[in-house]
Structure 1
């Protein structure tokens, strides 16, 4: 349990990668009584949200607001923003970092995580978007994972089949319910893009800037694949 929260400054970084940090104690007597020995350190990103990240956030929030409210105006967008920020703080932020943040000056890391959270929300709730989500995402691997988990095509967002990549394919005529699939590499693709992928998998992945997804236990359970 965290007892106290103090801010410190990095005074020096040594060649072996260790840092010298100084921090003031709010109550010296209490510190001596509790005999503090170890501390947990958070290293906040000193970079500020970029204009491109801010554009992505508001574009996705606008899509969510349109879908939820059936229209878009300033009040509806602000309400959607407040709701999504609160949900993000509760579900994605670590307890020590959980605090209000502003889209005008939050860190690059917070903006990146918020964008990925919004995209996952859109995928999970089947919200239509005007712009391809892969063009908006900050972390392609997280985007691909979310698409696989919810069986959404990573290219167009339509309902997807699970394409087993070269080296992870299951032979024709084999009962897939009896084949272990943990660790196999896949792509979530609609019928049209699945067919396109089969003609040149490597070229297809490069064309659409995709990443293969390795099936873990959570995905196997979700997709009802044998581990």
Structure 2
């Protein structure tokens, strides 16, 4: 793969015009495409700066990690976790004062996974800031944590497709929606009904791709 940079000039339906920074020779195209029609990936540079909301969530998580681990100098926790993140992921150096929103979101997601994987509890205030994001439902599915209380979750039930008299083994789960719920909140969902339950907790079930369903052992 060869990276070629330029600026997007226009978009018309599915057609785009790009002004390249440097000339592109037919030799380069033939070389990388093996004399076939080349496939091009478009990656848009994120020029947005980290938002105050992202920064607040990140520092809240860092505070929870410091409290849970009993770190003797809590003020150093941001530097410690950033170093761990950079060494484990190979990400580029960044600053929480002016990094892009994409970089901040990747770091935030990594911190959430770190807390789940190490059973680090979230303070109620921290948790209340997080579940509104679609990604949080996915993270809870991945780690089998109840989206409401963070206790162990079952996600072998679907919304809207599986009911009495239907065999879960024959359901096409690619069209199903899932929520990770502990047994208590699973039962509450049945007692209230799906619509009332979702409205009460302001959450939405999500679709899971084939790879995620395979990892979680959820049917086909």
Residue 219 of structure 1: how far off its partner (Å): 4.0
Which residue does 1:169 correspond to in 2?
162
> Contact between 1:205 and 1:211, CA under 8 Å: does it hold in 2?
yes
Quick one: distance in 1 between partners of 2:162 and 2:101? Answer: 38
Q: Check if 1:67 corresponds to 2:60.
A: no
Name 1:155's counterpart in structure 2. 148
Change (3 A) 1:47 1:36: same
Check 1:14–1:66 CA distance in 2 against 1; reply closer, same or farther (3 A cut). same
Contact kept? 2:179, 2:206, Cα under 8 Å: yes
Q: Is the 8 A contact 2:86 2:92 kept in 1?
A: no
How many residues get paired?
Answer: 207
Shift of 1:73: 1.6
**Cα distance between partner residues in 2 of 1:197 and 1:85:** 40
- Mapped contact 2:57–2:126 kept (Cα < 8 A): no
Q: Could you say what secondary structure the match of 1:214 adopts? A: coil
User: What's 2:195 paired with?
Assistant: 202
Q: CA deviation at 1:209?
A: 2.6
CA apart distance, 1:41? 5.1
The residue aligned with 1:28 is: none
Q: Which residue of 2 aligns with 1:52?
A: 53
Deviation at 1:104, TM superposition (A): 1.5
After TM superposition, the structure 1 = structure 2 runs for residues 18-33 of structure 1, keeping only pairs within 5 Å, are: 18-24=16-22
Question: How far 1:153 moved relative to its partner?
Answer: 0.4
Q: RMSD between aligned alpha carbons?
A: 3.2
Do 1:181 and 1:215's aligned partners in 2 also have CA atoms closer than 8 Å? no
Structure 1 equivalent of residue 28 of structure 2 = 36
Q: Structure 1 residues 224, 125: closer, same or farther in 2, change over 3 A?
A: same
Query: Which residue is equivalent to 1:83?
Result: 84
Query: TM-score, normalised to structure 2's length?
Result: 0.75
Question: Structure 1, residues 171-212: CA drift from partner, whole Å, max 9, x if none?
Answer: 37x886x55563332211123322222213112213323221
Give the Cα separation in 2 of the matches to 1:35 and 1:221: 42
SS of the residue 1:83 aligns to: helix
> Which residue does 1:13 correspond to in 2?
10
Aligned in 2, Cα 1:166/1:74: closer, same or farther, shift over 3 Å?
Answer: closer
**Residue 123 of structure 1: which of 93, 101, 116 is its match?**
116
Alpha-carbon shift at residue 136 of structure 1 (Å): 2.4
Q: Report the Cα distance in structure 2 between the residues aligned to 1:111 and 1:151, rounded to whole angstroms.
A: 24
**TM superposition shift of 1:71:** 4.8
User: Which residue, 154, 159, 184 being the options, matches 1:192?
Assistant: 184
Q: For the residues of structure 1 that align with 2:11 and 2:186, how far apart are their CA atoms?
A: 51
Segments of 5+ residues of structure 2 without an aligned counterpart are 30-37
After superposition, the Cα gap between the structure-2 partners of 1:164 and 1:102, relative to the gap in structure 1 and judged at 3 Å, is same
Report SS of the residue matched to 1:211.
coil
TM-score, normalised with respect to structure 1: 0.73
Asked if the contact 2:130–2:136 (Cα under 8 Å) also holds between the matched residues in 1, the reply is: no
